[in-house]
A and B are shown apart, each in its own frame.
Chain A
Amino acid sequence: MPGTAKTWVSEHLAAAVSGDSTLLVQGTAGTPEEAIRYGWNYAQLLAHGPSRDALVPSPVMRAMAEGMTARVEELTRIPADVQDTLITILSEKTLPIPELGQEVQAVRGFNLIATANDRDRGVNDLSSALRRRFNTVVLPLPATPDAEVDIVSRRVDQLGRSLDLPAAPEGTDEIRRVVTVFRELRDGITTDGRTKLKSPSGTLSTAEAISVVTNGLALAAHFGDGVLRPDDVAAGILGAVVRDPAADRVVWQEYLETVVRERDGWKDFYRACREVSA
């Protein structure tokens, strides 16, 4: 799922396990096979013919040879035929170099951490053969509202400083409200556990909550009185929730009418949301 600090975790894991997090393949739609296996230094190749010296090893190859942890970012964005090169590496733990009649054997300690989004559509889904060679861990969203509020306010603070936004006094209530709305819609149940809700198609990750609040702060600083108010976040929330104009709008309206309207102290928020939703 986007916005749950996958890359951060994989980076820290690699650094903790093998002391180095730089053996990294950045996955894109244009990632070639050479980025995962090896490339050639053509000047060397032409001058001296094929040899290990003319070989340009990939991060994966280096990790195999040295017994380190390699990382592949955004695995599902890599074209399927390029992904397939990983299959032999992961099951046989060797990387053949047929041009030289050699192979690179993985040394004890070689590991591969790959990250991918499971909510993205239209990318290269993993083949079951490759999927089987990975142990899958789905990174959870923050377990408690307090933890999430904490994460959001800390990141908003950092971002606000780098964007030179004026420091916002007392925005915590509004941040808590944004986090509550996100959590409730994401989990499909209200925080008191009494009412079930439909979930919209968006992911509503913590990262999105951070961007909604940062955006609200910018609005409050430049167009409002500097205090984060419901009007500043309402439009941002609407944009994050309603991704599919037909289905998500119904979800959002139901949420407004059945949950927000009756909640104590949420009158302003309800009004602000009604205004932008209409």
Chain B
Amino acid sequence: MAVLTINNRFGANGGRLASTTPRFSLSRFGGRWLSPLALLLLWEAGSRIGLIPERTLAAPSAVLGTLVEMVMSGELPSNLLVSFARVAAGLLIGVGLGLALGLVAGLSRAGELAVDPLMQIKRTIPALALTPLFIVWFGIGETPKVALIAFGTIFPVYLNLYSGIRGVDLRLLDAAKSFGLSRWEQVWHVVLPSALPSLLVGLRYALSVSILVLVVAEQINASAGLGYLINNARDFMRTDIIVVCLMVYAILGLGADWLVRTIEARALIWRPSIVEL
């Protein structure tokens, strides 16, 4: 106990010393970027002196050059658009179905009985495991790719909406009832807003799942899209193009996350943590 107290006092003294002494702070001057930058420099240097052969991994400068070239020629934008359309279509169907099923199961006992067991069975099947079956059913065109994305994104939306609806605060619902709100008004003013935070978590999951599934789905005999670019580049050992496409996937993921965070900041503005920002 005594030792602990002494340690604490030392700790407190140390803290005060550190805070009063003006000190150059790395973190204040973009210190978080230092290590990735160092890695990039090492990578570039390794490529320049021939330590990393180009067929293993292209140099960052070469990747950058290829990126500019692919953007200028229109090759990257047009293929990106194709991939984007796949994700958008898949998400539209998957999120739409997830919303509909979540509402049905969440708002009615009969709906829960009808929908929930099926959804729980569906949950046990990984979306990607259905790839062969979807190819048999839908061929190798756009349909299986969109269908895979849709299939993978239904569940996160469904589950989070359903549990969000069921988690509604019954005391709030009682209050709404006591003021004479109709069943529909209770759903609109109380149940759905209280399920929204949970639904947005589901949406965020769905977006990251959609990009994951896109990567795999696009490896199926595609004639356009990011996956097609990657497959082509693999055949010609163009590691620079592969790296460019990986970067684009990463940017897509970041963009999706940004989208949901923007929606959250607007829709959940009533939450104190967001209000204080």
- Answer yes or no: do A and B interact: no
Binding site for A on B (CB under 8 A): none
